């Protein structure tokens, strides 16, 4: 069961410029993953966890608001599975 979340250097930098509610929503998702596990959190409809396609195949996204998403990848480093949040950005519609 995956219960470890790390933020990339880019994601940490981007979060410094984000509105407070976006940072709080990501922190809530991280807390949920570390408490319940990724499989359980993916079932929560409010996060809209979905696989990405095209150039981002192999990545997944969650919605932090109507406009903002966090992009993440599940990594397997030496038997330890964890989530690396790669990017937090405003989604273009």
Q: What is the pLDDT of residues 38-88, one digit of tens each?
A: 999 999 999 999 999 999 999 999 999 989 999 999 988 766 667 888 888
59: left (phi over 0), alpha (psi -120 to 50) or beta: beta
Q: What is the mean pLDDT of residues 31-41?
A: 94
Nearest partner of 70 among 54, 86, 51, judged by Cα: 86
Q: What is the pTM of this model?
A: 0.88
Domain 5-88 has CATH 3.30.2310.20: yes
pLDDT of 78 reads 64
Structural element, H or E, at residue 83: strand 80-90
């Amino acid at each position: 069961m995956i219960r470890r979340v790390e933020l990339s250097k880019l994601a940490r930098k981007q979060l410094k410029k984000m509105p407070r509610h976006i940072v709080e929503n990501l922190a809530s998702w991280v807390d949920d993953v570390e408490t319940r596990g990724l499989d359980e959190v993916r079932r929560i409809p409010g996060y809209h966890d979905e696989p990405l396609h095209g150039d981002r195949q192999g990545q997944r996204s969650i919605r932090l608001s109507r406009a903002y998403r966090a992009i993440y990848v599940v990594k397997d480093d030496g038997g330890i599975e964890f989530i690396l949040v790669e990017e937090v950005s405003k989604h273009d519609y």
